[in-house]
Amino acid sequence: MPRVAIALVCLMWIAFVALRADDSATKPKILVFTKTATFRHDSIPDGIKCVREIVGQDVDVEQTEDSSLFTKENLSKYRAIVFLSTTGDVLNDAQQIAFQDFVESGGGFAGIHAASDTEHEWPWYDEMIGAHFAGHPAIQQATVIVEDRKHPSTEMLPEMWPRTDEWYRFKRNPRKVDGIHVLARLDESTFEGGGMDGDHPCAWWRTMKSGRCWYTAGGHTKESFSEPLFREHLKQGILWAAKLEKPIKSATIQGESIR
């Protein structure tokens, strides 16, 4: 190969690497937090893989179980933090202060499944999450009634959405919590052991000062993270929390109607 051609190929490669490095440096970041202090879900690796796949084109995804990273300086690198089936007391007092400041200053929070079984004794988190886990029946199919189809995380869903998961009941009804906006509820007539007196929210959002907070109760099973509609629900919820939401056009996701 002539020297000129070799030099041209080298220059093109250097330019490509530089562009990729610049893209990585400017791409927004989210942190997926998976620390557990009590029960640990075996679907967590599937959830991490899913989050990387569904939002990887929009953000850089970092994952950790190291709560020492919850400092004001370090959290400032992220647009949102995802609590993926965290359980128990996972942050100490200083880390709680850093996380609260992050959210209230405009950072996003997305909670998946057992995020509601986390920090039961922390009043601020209790307000932010809306409702804490109280128990669940056996894994079974239930019908999700989508109440708000204007939110990015639910506009792709059918009004009646049958799916199988482990359905949490909560210590209180989040609908009765000031500032909570319910996105979807379970039809308790379609499964056994609902325990919420017929009004069973399973996805909702709120704001905490400048920060957006979003929660979905789904995601117990490994299979959840392979479901096209649930994946899109997660993707748009995370991007909304990070203030990176994008409009969704009426379409079909891998054979599942989203209208």
As a whole number of angstroms, the distance between CA 96 and CA 70 comes to 8
What pLDDT was estimated at residue 7?
54
74 lies in some domain: yes
Contact in structure between 125 and 33 (CB atoms under 8 Å): no
Say which amino acid occupies 75.
Answer: L
Share of the chain above pLDDT 70, in %: 85
Helix axes of 44-55 and 228-241: crossing angle, nearest 10 degrees:
70
Model confidence over 73-89: pLDDT tens digits? 999 999 999 999 999 99
Q: In the chain, how many domains are there?
A: 1
Please give the average per-residue pLDDT across 164-179, as a whole number: 98
The single-letter DSSP state of residue 103 is H
Helix (H) or strand (E) holding 205: strand 200-208
10 lies in some domain: no
Say which amino acid occupies 14.
Answer: I
147 lies in some domain: yes
Please give the average per-residue pLDDT across 157-177, as a whole number: 98
CATH of the domain at 176: 3.40.50.880
Does pLDDT of 256 surpass 80?
no
Please give the average per-residue pLDDT across 133-148, as a whole number: 98
Please give the average per-residue pLDDT across 179-203, as a whole number: 98
196 lies in some domain: yes
What pLDDT was estimated at residue 249?
54
The single-letter DSSP state of residue 250 is S
What pLDDT was estimated at residue 10?
52
8 lies in some domain: no
Please give the average per-residue pLDDT across 25-51, as a whole number: 96
With bands split at pLDDT 50, 70 and 90, how would you rate the model's confidence at 5? low
Exposure of 133 by Cβ count < 10 A (0-12 exposed, 13-18 middle, 19+ buried)? buried
Nearest 5 degrees, angle CA 233-CA 236-CA 241? 120
Tokens describing residue 203: 């996805």
Model confidence over 115-137: pLDDT tens digits? 999 999 999 999 999 999 999 99
Nearest 5 degrees, angle CA 14-CA 15-CA 20? 100
As a whole number of angstroms, the distance between CA 10 and CA 55 comes to 32
38 lies in some domain: yes
DSSP H stretches of helix in 118-196: 123-129
Using alpha carbons, select from 130, 126, 163 the residue that is nearest to residue 144: 163
DSSP H stretches of helix in 111-162: 123-129
With bands split at pLDDT 50, 70 and 90, how would you rate the model's confidence at 14? low
DSSP H stretches of helix in the chain: 3-26, 44-55, 72-75, 93-104, 123-129, 228-241
What is the span of the domain harbouring residue 206? Answer: 29-257
As a whole number of angstroms, the distance between CA 59 and CA 181 comes to 26
What pLDDT was estimated at residue 82?
99
Does pLDDT of 258 surpass 60?
no
Q: What is the mean pLDDT of the chain?
A: 91
Please give the average per-residue pLDDT across 26-36, as a whole number: 97
What pLDDT was estimated at residue 26?
86
88 lies in some domain: yes
17 lies in some domain: no
What pLDDT was estimated at residue 250?
47
